[in-house]
Chains A and B, each alone.
Chain A
Amino acid sequence: MAKILVIVLFCLGLWGILASRSLVRKIIGLSLLNSSVVVLFVLSGRLDGNRAPILSIGIEGVMVDPLPQALMLTAIVVGLSVTAVALILAVKIYRTCGSLDIEEIEDSIHESAH
């Protein structure tokens, strides 16, 4: 199930970045792409075991690999900061240009250059 989720999230994100002309939708697509990689890592920790990775006596079974989870905490924070900066830039562009459509923004830059 989770494998399908990774693929669906990845494709949705890529589609959002490539097909949409709106800056905000592109940023949402980037966020989805980021989430798909996060799920991929967390899932890979789950492949080898199924028990919470807490050391204690008397519990049997193989632990979930805790390292990918720790890595993904970092990746989530990084993704959040990138999304925040991207949204700030998008808002600033919208305030100057009055549009989020990438082609309209590029056209207005082109016009002001001439």
Chain B
Amino acid sequence: MNLHTELPVILILFSPLLAAIISLTGKLFPPRYSLVPAFLVWLGGSLAALAAAFPSIAAGTVLQYSLGGWAEPLGISLEVNGVTWIASLTDVIIASAAWLCTLRQDKFNALFYFFFFMALFSLQGVLCTRDIFNLFVWFEVLSLSSFVLISYDRSLTSRLAAIRYLLISSMSILFFLIGVWILYRLFGVLSLKDIAVQAQQLNADGIHSHNRPAMGLAIALITAGILTRAAVVPFHTWLPDAHMAAPYQVSALLSGFVIKAPMLALWRISAFLDFPLLLESLIWVGGVCALWGVIAAMVQKDAKKLLGYHSVSQMGYIVAAFGAGGADGRSAAIFYIIAHALFKSLLFLTVGHVTSSLGTRNVYTLRGAARLFPGTTILFFIAAASISGIPLFAGFAGKILVAKSLYGHPAYVLLLLAGIGTAASFIKLSRIFFGKPSAAALKDPLTVSGYIGMGLLASGCLLLGLFPHSFHQTILSLIGNTSIHISDVLTGWYSPYNLVKAGISIGAGFLVSQVLVSKPGRALSLRIRDLSVGLDGSLRLLTAGFILVILYGAAFY
């Protein structure tokens, strides 16, 4: 065994599993003995693995480990490449912040931490695996832990949200499996590397190959199955309820990373996604997703549901940038994934802290949180400024990169409108911090460690916003693209054009937010809120979506 290249892969994958097992001993002994050791084992193992992997990753090599010593195509291979490395680092930061916010709260017992670390374990699996069937298994382990975490509050709402997520994700993963079956029938291998080689052969045969429609169908099914996990319209219906009903620390992890990991898996699969039409359609899907998500978010009454719909909307930006392709689009997607992971989990933690301490999530009645929680308020405004794209914060840089990758594409108009909506809904949401306190704080469950966790995320947002150029260069070199001179493309992040655009977007957002909170605006909001579908409706939407995808996949290739 080659320790130098294999050990980091093993360590990064199995340290969360070890932490989960240690957490489980909290059922036998008092949980306080296992709580901190489990966290330290996970954090230490992951950070050590990332540090050990860095020299090779920076040199452009890929670390690989074949399970059981069986090389591909017979066995399953795990790999850590540049994208995995930077995604894992983000994952570690977000999960640490969420973990720090769970401390000293009685409701989180040993089982909670077990499922928490199992979710991290399967996330790492999704990021590392190079076998498409293995990916299915990781997805299922991830969703099984998510069901438990979502329904952890034991309320009717959270249980219904969990079962809704369960039905939708299980149905979509079966369509994904049918796609895997088609690929296996075509190529006889399951390793992504070998599928990519064979698919290139197929593409070289060109349009006349009779296997091409089947290949198109397989890719459409697999992509749609993965996009359901990433909560992209029309497969997004599970997300807002699940993120609303889960404990806010869990929501932070779910919105921060659980919906991003599928996009990174899609990235890995995209080695053989040599179908321009699919990428083109992803741009439009992303645009529609961004706009619809933000419209639904603007009208929400529930603060956490508002944030949930924002996750849908922001996934739209990521999918659109991913669809734009090329070094520009890919690096924009990664940059946005990292930026969004940081500020969205910070938003969930701050808003969750306020709403759970004050006992209500109603945006229209909750007031005066700034007086009760000044620290949380500052952190919230850092995150809100990031997501609205205010200069010097992370979202601004992310939006410039996405705009650059979609330059001249008509779907970009949808993203511009979504940007206005984002600013509007955050101006609406920020009203919970102003005014006289509407209620006395029930309790302030957050300890100093919680503030440290949130501060970690906030400093990440600020760093990304202040030094976008060096981060972007790092990403470009990590995804193995050093040939492009992005400094020529992006002369000046803070050019007058970009600043004016951000200013107009925020000004328009302010006007829209004033309309939203007026009386007719609230009546309209209620009408749009009533459009949201129940469980049956979302299952029908999912089926209709998949029928469309199948027709599209079979007809266009």
Contact = CB atoms under 8 A, between A and B. Distances in A.
Interface of A: 14, 17-18, 21, 23, 26-27, 30, 33-34, 37, 40-41, 44, 67-68, 71, 74-75, 78, 81-82, 85-86, 89-90, 92-93, 96-97, 102-103, 105-106, 108-109, 112
The 3 closest A-B pairs by CB, nearest first: A78-B140, A89-B163, A96-B156
B166 interface: yes
Given A40-B181, A44-B185, A102-B535, A85 B166 contact: yes
Given A82-B170, A102-B534, A105-B156, A23 B163 contact: yes
Contact of B177 (A67, A75, A90): A75
B63 interface: no
A106 B534 contact: yes
Contacts of A18: 536, 539-540, 543
B535 A89 contact: no
Contacts of A108: 156
A89 to B, nearest CB: 5
Which secondary structure dominates where chain A touches chain B?
A: helix
A85 B149 CA distance: 12
Contacts of A89: 147, 151, 159, 162-163, 166
A106 B543 contact: no
Interface of B: 133, 136-137, 140, 143-144, 147-148, 151, 154, 156-157, 159-160, 162-163, 166-167, 170-171, 174, 177-178, 181, 184-185, 190, 534-536, 539-540, 543
Contact of B535 (A71, A85, A106): A106
Contact of A14 (B143, B151, B185, B543): B543
Nearest to A102: B535
Nearest to B189: A67
Given A23-B163, A106-B535, A82 B543 contact: no
Contacts of B147: 85, 89
A71 B137 CA distance: 10
Contacts of B181: 37, 40-41, 44
A37 B177 contact: yes
A71 to B, nearest CB: 6
A68 B160 CA distance: 34
A62 to B, nearest CB: 14
A34 B163 contact: no
